Amino acid sequence: MRFQSVPVNFIGGSYAHRSRSLSSQVTMNLIPEFIPSGKTQSALTNWPGAKPFTSGSGADRGMHVFAGTLYKVSGTTLEGIASNGTRTTIGTVDGFKPCIFADDGNTMRIATGSKDYQLISGVLSEITDPDLKSGNSVAYINQQMINDSDGGQFQVSDVGVPGSIAANNFATAESSPDDTVRVYTFNERLYLFGNRNSVETWWNSGTGNPPFDRVQGGAMNVGISSPYSVASTTAFTYFMGFDKAVYRFSATQPESITPPAIAAEFQEFSTTEDARSYVVNIEGMSFYVINFPTVGQTYAYNEDGNTWFQLSSGANKANYLGTSYAKVYGKQYIASGGDVLELDCDTFTDNGLTTIRERVTAPIFAPEGGRIEMSSFTLLMETGVGLISGQGVNPKVMFEASYDGGKSWSDEDWVEIGRMGQGRVKVVWDNMASAYDIMIRVRVSDPVFISFHGASIMLRQAGW
């Protein structure tokens, strides 16, 4: 029987099932795109690299844009960062946990989990109102600041006075006896995230103390794992639930977006209580990024394509270095420790670190069973992407195959993808092998633009 060219469903997200022979798919540092018209209707394109913007020291505790200026807490220091990267020390913020920020245009509040601070006219001070019971978070709505406090309560500041809290201006989430650990505002509603069983929805009624009332039927029967895992696009609010699944909502109905294989991955994580999230918009696509510092893993969800993939930094695929995010000065930034880096689609490393872009396919097999024999594997991709000098002048794709359901891999072969301007290069991996099923692993470490459009494999049946 002659070899025949068989299309391979190469484009997809990460989906490593507990049964590796069923699916060991990995998509790392590549964005699954779904294109309405083009050579193909889907592609894998490189996640933006990160180039230096301004350097600093200390652990990253968060960034926030206030009155057009970028602010960052590194270690115990609050700094203002100008558009040219110049940093100005503002003051000291105690603690070590990530910070949550809110502002009303005139005052910026900072919640640290132990103390609350406010920045007014460039002066940082601790809020000393005796009625304030500091919590993990702060949020803003309708000229009032809201913070979580003890026993499932939340407190509301005086109108227009973010640092003043009246003794009777509090309420308690009542749908579940869990503790409120995060307050959040979205689409003119206030959401109270409990640490085990509930998210309650409230609205600003304008009357009473505090002037908020529960939305009838607005209780969600899922709590939050990490108070730092909440982030919003224009359409949805996302968070990691107490059950280690990721949920989203637009009003009052939570929807799990965690497919079984990804959920199984998260269930194996030793802790998710320190997960940190943010939303990034790249070329019109929205991504929810969740970084697990203790576990050393980062996942991203493409809202437009309903697909998960993974992010990493460095040649050893260490955890992605971006732990917080801000958009300001017409650019997008991530924080890595004390450093702030600019996300850039034309940069192909992370602060100089090698980026490994990897795709592992689903198993390729004969529908009627039996052995198959391959002679070559062809990648449809952007070619002629080599650089003028340095690593990447003659970029290559690295190929490996598994014939035992992803348990072991063949030796690595390299195939050139074209020096600069060599756009007619055909990327073909010649490899004779026979098995009942075959998985292909493709990796690129050169700092060049990568866009995979599809693939095919030369196959024939080889008996039983």
Confidence of residue 41 (pLDDT cuts 50, 70, 90): confident
First to last CA, the chain: 14
- CB under 8 Å to 36, separation ≥6 — which residues? none
pLDDT at 22: 78
What is the rounded distance in angstroms from the CA atom of residue 289 to the CA atom of residue 306? 13
pLDDT at 187: 95
The reported pTM is 0.95
What percentage of the chain carries pLDDT values higher than 90?
85
- Here the tokens at position 397 are 């794709």
Confidence of residue 65 (pLDDT cuts 50, 70, 90): very high
- Mean pLDDT taken over the chain: 94
Phi/psi class of residue 387: alpha, beta or left (left: φ > 0; alpha: ψ in -120 to 50)?
Answer: beta
pLDDT at 40: 78
Is the predicted pLDDT of residue 134 greater than 90, yes or no?
no
- Here the tokens at position 101 are 């920020």
DSSP category for residue 156: E
266 membership: H or E segment, kind and range: helix 260-267
Is the predicted pLDDT of residue 39 greater than 80, yes or no?
no
The pLDDT tens digits for 386-432 are 999 999 999 999 999 999 989 999 999 999 999 999 989 999 999 99
What is the rounded distance in angstroms from the CA atom of residue 324 to the CA atom of residue 326? 7
Which stretches of 290-334 are DSSP H helices? none
Give 302's Cβ-side CA count (13 Å radius). Answer: 26
User: Once rounded to an integer, what is the mean pLDDT over residues 168-184?
Assistant: 88
> Sign (positive/negative) of CA torsion 29, 34, 37, 43?
positive
- CB under 8 Å to 125, separation ≥6 — which residues? 91, 117, 118
- Complete edge-to-edge strand list for the sheet that includes strand 49-54: 49-54, 339-344, 331-336, 324-328
CB atoms within 10 A of CB 84: 8
Q: Residue 220 class from Cβ within 10 Å (0-12 exposed, 13-18 middle, 19+ buried)? A: buried
Confidence of residue 457 (pLDDT cuts 50, 70, 90): very high
User: Once rounded to an integer, what is the mean pLDDT over residues 172-190?
Assistant: 90
Q: Which own/partner pairs from 137-140 qualify as long-range (CB within 8 Å, at least 24 positions apart)?
A: 137/100, 137/111, 137/181, 137/182, 137/183, 137/184, 137/227, 138/100, 138/101, 138/102, 138/109, 138/110, 138/111, 138/183, 139/102, 139/183, 139/184, 139/185, 139/190, 140/102, 140/103, 140/104, 140/109, 140/185
pLDDT at 117: 97
pLDDT at 16: 87
Confidence of residue 34 (pLDDT cuts 50, 70, 90): confident
CB 351 within 8 A of CB 406: no
Is the predicted pLDDT of residue 361 greater than 80, yes or no?
yes
pLDDT at 367: 77
The pLDDT tens digits for 290-313 are 999 999 999 999 999 999 999 999
Is the predicted pLDDT of residue 316 greater than 90, yes or no?
yes
- Here the tokens at position 57 are 């020291």
What is the rounded distance in angstroms from the CA atom of residue 30 to the CA atom of residue 302? 11
Tabulate helix, strand, coil % of the chain (nearest 5). Answer: 0, 50, 50
Query: Minimal CA–CA distance to 382: which of 104, 44, 55?
Result: 44
Q: 56-80 burial, b if ≥16 CB within 10 A, otherwise e?
A: beebbbbbbbbeebbbbbbbebbbb
Is the predicted pLDDT of residue 176 greater than 90, yes or no?
no
Rg (CA), the chain: 25
The pLDDT tens digits for 14-29 are 998 887 777 889 999 9
What is the rounded distance in angstroms from the CA atom of residue 230 to the CA atom of residue 171? 22
User: Once rounded to an integer, what is the mean pLDDT over residues 170-194?
Assistant: 91
CA 433 to chain centre: 38
Beta strand ranges found along 35-165 (DSSP E): 42-46, 49-54, 60-66, 69-74, 77-81, 87-92, 100-103, 107-111, 116-120, 123-126, 138-141, 144-148, 153-156
Length of the chain: 464
User: Once rounded to an integer, what is the mean pLDDT over residues 263-285?
Assistant: 96
User: Once rounded to an integer, what is the mean pLDDT over residues 164-188?
Assistant: 90
- Here the tokens at position 309 are 């993939």
What is the rounded distance in angstroms from the CA atom of residue 327 to the CA atom of residue 346? 18
- Here the tokens at position 247 are 């949920």
pLDDT at 35: 79
Cis status, amide bond into 210, omega within 30 of 0: yes
Q: What single-letter amino acid sits at 233? A: T
38-47, 138-147, 271-280: least confidently modelled range = 38-47
